[in-house]
Structure 1
Amino acid sequence: MPAAVVFDCFDTLIMSRPLPGPEEFTTCLAEVLALDRRCAGEVVHTVFSAVFAAMADRSALQPPTMGLLDEALRERGEPRESADLEKALWHALGCADPGQYALCEPAADAMRRAAAAGHTVRVISNCYLPGNLMLRLMHRMKVPEVYDRTLFTADGGPKKPDPRAFRLIGEGDFERRVMVGDSEEIDIAPAAALGWDTVRVDPGGPDLTDLLTLLDL
């Protein structure tokens, strides 16, 4: 019976170096959005504080990154076009750096094989990039486009390990659901609590053999 196979994105499908910190984020915003550094620093503090507060509360909905950034700039009399905000986030989160992200080939191969066998493949990510930029990054990293649905928390809504996030991405008439991710705390344990099968990926040595065995591939 075909299953819903849900892949975590970062450190499962896409490997990442540590993300830029507030100082680098501030520098990038100041340059891309032509802001003075004081204003850029205030905006970064506002956005990071709101996101981190939501991340610290498992049941809190994550606020949309674009909305936070837009509101913080408008409050300081520095509104910018959406395209400029997207450019700032793209650069601030290292997407323009060719060494920041890399495709996990074993996970990509497992993704292709699962889809070819008739399973429904989906992607979920706790992230800071809005969905359109996440899709752009995944395309740039050559993540196989065999998924039929995504859930990116930076667009606003529940996030892992909230059961609501798993129920959303797992919607459909499936007898079996499989979560593939790197984090025991936010990927594996909450999915298992809902009765899903789980496969943990070690970012230091990704091996998807357990998933292939589980799906008889």
Structure 2
Amino acid sequence: MPAAVVFDCFDTIVMSRPLPGPETYTACLADVLALDQRCAGQVVHTVFTAVFAAMSDRSALQPPTMALLDAALGEQGQPRERADMEKALWHALGCADPGQYALCEPTADAMRRSAAAGHTVRLMSNCYLPGNLMRRLLHQLKVPEVYDRALFTADGGPKKPDPRAFRLIGEGDFERRVMVGDSEETDIAPAAALGWDTVHVDPGDPDLTELFTLLEL
């Protein structure tokens, strides 16, 4: 029976440089949303304090990034249209920088081969970008569009390593589930605890041979 093969995004299918710091986020929001530096700094502090608090608690649900940004701007008396907030996030998280993100070709090939063999390919990511922007980024990087479902935690809900996140993305009538990711703590160990097969990917030397062996590709 075909398997569900779940790929982590960052440092598995998408390689990335370190994200910028709060000063860069603040400058970007001030520029894109036409805010003064004090207001932009307060918005960044409010949003990322909430996100980091959720990320530090393994069982906490991640709040939706867009809702946090909208509420923080409202508190400052500076509401903005959704399109403007999405543009601010896109730029603040480096998506407009051609050097920030890159496709991992070996993992992309593994996605294609898994799908071609009849397996169900899915994506899963702890992220700050809402789902529509994540899909835009993946399309921009030419990530193979062979996945039928994705779980992007910036839309709100459980996140890795919470077992609820794995159960959500693994839903379906599958005889086996495989997690492919770079993090032992958030990808491999929690998936293995649920009885999934796992394939660890080293971002510095991505080798998907173990996945091909598991799936007999």
Q: TM-score, normalised by structure 2?
A: 1.00
Residue identity in the other structure for 2:64? P
Q: Tell me how far 1:20 sits from its aligned partner.
A: 1.1
DSSP-derived class of the 1:121 partner: strand
Aligned pairs, number: 217
Give the corresponding residue for 1:4: 4
Alignment of 1:53-68 (within 5 A): 53-68=53-68
Deviations 1:91-149 (Å, cap 9, x if unpaired)? 00000000000000000000000000000000000000000000000000000000000
Detail structure 1 runs of 4+ shifted over 2 Å in the superposition. Answer: none
Deviations 1:159-189 (Å, cap 9, x if unpaired)? 0000000000000000100000000000000
Q: Tell me how far 1:210 sits from its aligned partner.
A: 0.7
Q: Find the aligned partners of 2:47 and 2:204 in 1 and give their Cα distance.
A: 31
Give the corresponding residue for 2:189: 189
Residue identity in the other structure for 1:5? V
Q: Find the aligned partners of 2:163 and 2:185 in 1 and give their Cα distance.
A: 12
Which stretches in structure 2 are left out of the alignment for 5+ residues? none
Give the corresponding residue for 2:158: 158
Residue identity in the other structure for 2:57? D
Give the corresponding residue for 2:28: 28
DSSP-derived class of the 1:124 partner: strand
Q: Tell me how far 1:34 sits from its aligned partner.
A: 0.2
Deviations 1:47-70 (Å, cap 9, x if unpaired)? 010000000000000000000000
2:47 is the counterpart of 1:47: yes
2:88 is the counterpart of 1:88: yes
Q: Find the aligned partners of 1:28 and 1:173 in 2 and give their Cα distance.
A: 45
Q: Find the aligned partners of 2:209 and 2:21 in 1 and give their Cα distance.
A: 35
Residue identity in the other structure for 1:30? A
Q: Find the aligned partners of 1:21 and 1:207 in 2 and give their Cα distance.
A: 31
Q: Find the aligned partners of 2:191 and 2:169 in 1 and give their Cα distance.
A: 11
Q: CA RMSD in A?
A: 0.3
Q: TM-score, normalised by structure 1?
A: 1.00
Deviations 1:28-56 (Å, cap 9, x if unpaired)? 00000000000000000000100000000
Give the corresponding residue for 2:14: 14
Q: What percent of counterpart residues are identical?
A: 85
Residue identity in the other structure for 1:106? P
Q: Tell me how far 1:21 sits from its aligned partner.
A: 1.0
Give the corresponding residue for 1:37: 37
Residue identity in the other structure for 2:156? G
